[in-house]
Structure 1
Amino acid sequence: MLALGLVLNTLGIGLFCWAIFALAVYALPFFVALSLGMTALRSGVGVVGALLIGTAGGALTLVLGQTAVAITRSLTLRIAIAIAFAVPAAVAGYHLVFALSQIGVSSMAWREAFACLGAICVAGTAWTRLTVFAEARPFSSVEAVEKPSQPILTAATREG
């Protein structure tokens, strides 16, 4: 039974790690949705209205962020948007790794070190997942001209 418990605990921690990396890019939209929902709830909209407003605000944040990174030509703007998405992911990653490290690490210095490393990894994952749709665009019109591709020789087109 002890071995089964260790295996299941390891799988559970692995599931948490997978979830934080898979959901890292959604940290900023979640924070926006939560803030908008709580503000709407306090203003008297009601629970259903607050849920709708929060969900719409979070979805809009995600869609606008991904679209802006994919469309914009300015590298500075892309970096600013990616940082805006990566910072909340880093905060969430820091707190998650810090909480999980309390299970098996007794030294406070090592917990902090693991938490900082986790924050960097989660922020990098959010950055990568956000910018994966951004294609590299040429900065000058000379580079934009496509070079003709070399024809592929097949067995049917070879002479001789």
Structure 2
Amino acid sequence: MLVLNIVLLLVTVGFLCWLVFTLAVYALPLLAGVTAGLWAYETGTGAVGGVLLGAVAAGAVAIVGQLAFAFARPFWVRALVAAFFAGPAAIAGYAATLGITRLATPSETWQMAVAIIGAVAVGFTALFRMAGVALPDPRTEIASEA
């Protein structure tokens, strides 16, 4: 029974890590959607109105961010957009990694160290996923064809 518990813990931790890395890019849109939805709910639109407004806000932030990153040519604009997306992803990665390591590691020092490593890893993952959205520079394609 003990071996089964260890195997299930490892499978669960692996699944949660995969989930955090996959959904890291969507931390900022989720934050914007939840904030807009809660604001709408508190102003009297009701639960359905809050959910709808939150979904629209989250979709808008995701689309605008990806379009801004894809079509912006100056490096500083791309870096700023990527930082806006990677910051909340790193915070979410820190919280998720800290929660997972608290299940398995008794030392708080190691918990914090692993959580910081997780935050950096998730932040860079979000950064690289945003960079994968960018369109190639047409001048580079023309130069490579010649």
Q: State the TM-score, normalized to the length of structure 1.
A: 0.85
Partners of 1:102 and 1:5 in 2: CA distance: 16
1:148 shift after superposition: 4.8
Write the letter of the residue equivalent to 2:65. Answer: G
Deviations 1:66-102 (A, max 9, x none): 1110111011000000000000000000011111111
Give the structure 1 partner of residue 67 of structure 2: 67
Give the structure 1 partner of residue 102 of structure 2: 102
Looking at both structures, which has the greater relative contact order when contacts are Cα pairs under 8 Å and sequence separation is at least 6? 2
Write the letter of the residue equivalent to 1:131. Answer: A
1:3 shift after superposition: 1.9
Deviations 1:15-35 (A, max 9, x none): 100000000000000000000
Give the structure 2 partner of residue 119 of structure 1: 119
1:137 shift after superposition: 2.3
Question: Which aligned runs of 4 or more in structure 1 are off by greater than 3 angstroms?
Answer: 143-149
Give the structure 2 partner of residue 88 of structure 1: 88
Give the structure 2 partner of residue 44 of structure 1: 44
Partners of 1:59 and 1:8 in 2: CA distance: 35
- The percent identity for this pair of structures is 35
Do the aligned partners of residues 137 and 4 (structure 1) sit closer, same or farther apart at CA in structure 2, a change above 3 Å counting? same
Contact 1:66 1:131 (8 Å CA) reproduced: no
Q: State the TM-score, normalized to the length of structure 2.
A: 0.93
Give the structure 2 partner of residue 31 of structure 1: 31
Partners of 2:144 and 2:115 in 1: CA distance: 48
Do the aligned partners of residues 68 and 100 (structure 1) sit closer, same or farther apart at CA in structure 2, a change above 3 Å counting? same
Contact 1:105 1:111 (8 Å CA) reproduced: yes
Partners of 2:142 and 2:18 in 1: CA distance: 42
Q: Cα RMSD over matched residues?
A: 1.7
Structure 2: which 5+ residue stretches go unaligned? none
Classify the secondary structure of the residue corresponding to 2:133: coil
Classify the secondary structure of the residue corresponding to 1:132: helix
Number of equivalent positions: 146
